Amino acid sequence: MVSVLGSPPVPPPGSIIAPIAATLAVTTTSANILLPNSITLYPFVNLLNDGTGELFFALGSSAVTASAADSIPIPAGKCLSVYCNGNDYVAAVGAAATTLRITQSNGPACPR
């Protein structure tokens, strides 16, 4: 688990996944998406790179962008759980087209 800009709250035993998921089509141009659920109830963001190429992501406001130079990488087929610390948008970019699957939870909860 990675803590982004702050310390996450201690999650209750067993993480609960939020009811709504989102998908972001990742290309060579940075794009962002609003997280689909309340960040107060579900402060952890679970990011699954469901493609064949590495992607880079960043959390922030509606103006957030991602770049290979200063964003966090997620290898193909891997998932990363991060504490959103009040950030309600996620941005991603990749060297090739891939898909970022986004869920939220009340504790770290990557499916793989």
- Show the domain range for 28: 17-105
- Please indicate, yes or no, if residue 53 is contained in any of the structural domains: yes
- Nearest CA among 13, 8, 96 for reference residue 52: 96
Residue 46: which CATH number?
2.60.120.10
- Please indicate, yes or no, if residue 4 is contained in any of the structural domains: no
- Please indicate, yes or no, if residue 28 is contained in any of the structural domains: yes
- Nearest CA among 26, 47, 49, 51 for reference residue 35: 47
The per-residue pLDDT string of the chain (112 residues; one tens digit each, 9 = 90 and over) reads 444 445 555 555 567 889 899 999 999 999 999 999 999 999 999 999 999 999 999 999 999 999 999 999 999 999 999 999 999 999 999 999 999 999 999 988 886 5
Q: What is the pTM of this model?
A: 0.86
- Please indicate, yes or no, if residue 3 is contained in any of the structural domains: no
- Please indicate, yes or no, if residue 78 is contained in any of the structural domains: yes
- Please indicate, yes or no, if residue 6 is contained in any of the structural domains: no
- Nearest CA among 28, 46, 61 for reference residue 100: 46
* Number of structural domains found in the chain: 1
- Please indicate, yes or no, if residue 34 is contained in any of the structural domains: yes
Long-range contacts of 32-35 (CB under 8 A, 24+ apart): 32/60, 32/62, 32/64, 32/65, 32/66, 32/89, 32/90, 32/91, 32/92, 33/89, 33/90, 33/91, 33/102, 34/62, 34/88, 34/89, 35/84, 35/88, 35/89, 35/90, 35/102, 35/104
- Please indicate, yes or no, if residue 31 is contained in any of the structural domains: yes
